[in-house]
Amino acid sequence: MLPAYKRKVKRAREYIKEALGMCQNPYIAWSVGGKDSSVMLHLILQETEIIETRTLVSGETRYLFPEFDNIVEWWKERYKNLKISLVEMDRVWSTKMDFYTQRKAGRNDILKLLPTQEHDLVFMGLRDEESNTRRAANARGVIRRYSQKRAKNLRGSYVCVPVSKFTTQDIATYITIHNVPVFDIYHESGFEERTTLRLTGDAVRQMAFQRLRMSNPDKYNELLKRFPELHWWNG
């Protein structure tokens, strides 16, 4: 509760107010249960509850994080005007794509499934501390035009990264004070943990698949049956 932390929270809310004032139809890129985007979502909801969140959900999501749906319900119960859009995409619901095709096409798929031409701003929970790439991107401004080469159908739209200056300790403090629901792994292993809702290459390097094997062997084996290609990543 030092003044420096309070200033960051105050400044984040000011950025959110400014962003909301310059757009007509924003949405929030929310990683359900993720620490950074969940703090951002809570901050935004202090300014407006009439907004949409969008989350890409893959078949492995609920294997990796069985608390996923309970977290979604927590937000729905408390914020009745919040529109939560979950895009369920992959072989658990469709047999048209193999696992590797899904991994490569994931970013393009969400853009096709969720056309964003009608939206003029997206809130994203990207923090400088996470990587040099994100620090460089955020250096262009907390509110800035969205990169055209990253998402062509967002051309002309804006992005706001209100928690970009938060440290991991700031994020943990906010979650603790406001009882924001996040994945159990943060409370069990520390807020330095990185999570993802999909088994990307980064997720494998961060031991997500291996943690599942140790914590829930039955779910691990069930996931292998659904996605045989995962045997290639079976460390």
pLDDT in tens, 191-210: 998 887 776 666 666 667 77
Percentage of the chain beyond pLDDT 70 is 77
Q: pLDDT for 138-179, tens place per residue?
A: 888 899 987 655 544 444 578 999 999 999 999 999 999 999
Q: What is the mean pLDDT of the chain?
A: 82
What tens digit of pLDDT does each residue of 35-83 get?
999 999 999 999 999 999 988 887 778 888 889 999 999 999 999 999 9
Per CATH, which fold does 3-226 belong to? Rossmann fold (3.40.50)
Residues 44 and 9 sit within 8 Å (Cβ to Cβ): no
The pLDDT, as a whole number, for residue 153 is 47
* The pTM of the whole model exceeds 0.85: no
Where along the chain do its domains lie?
3-226
Q: 100 with 216: CB under 8 angstroms?
A: no
Specify the residue for token string 């779910």: 219
Which has more pLDDT, 161 or 188?
161
DSSP state of 117: T
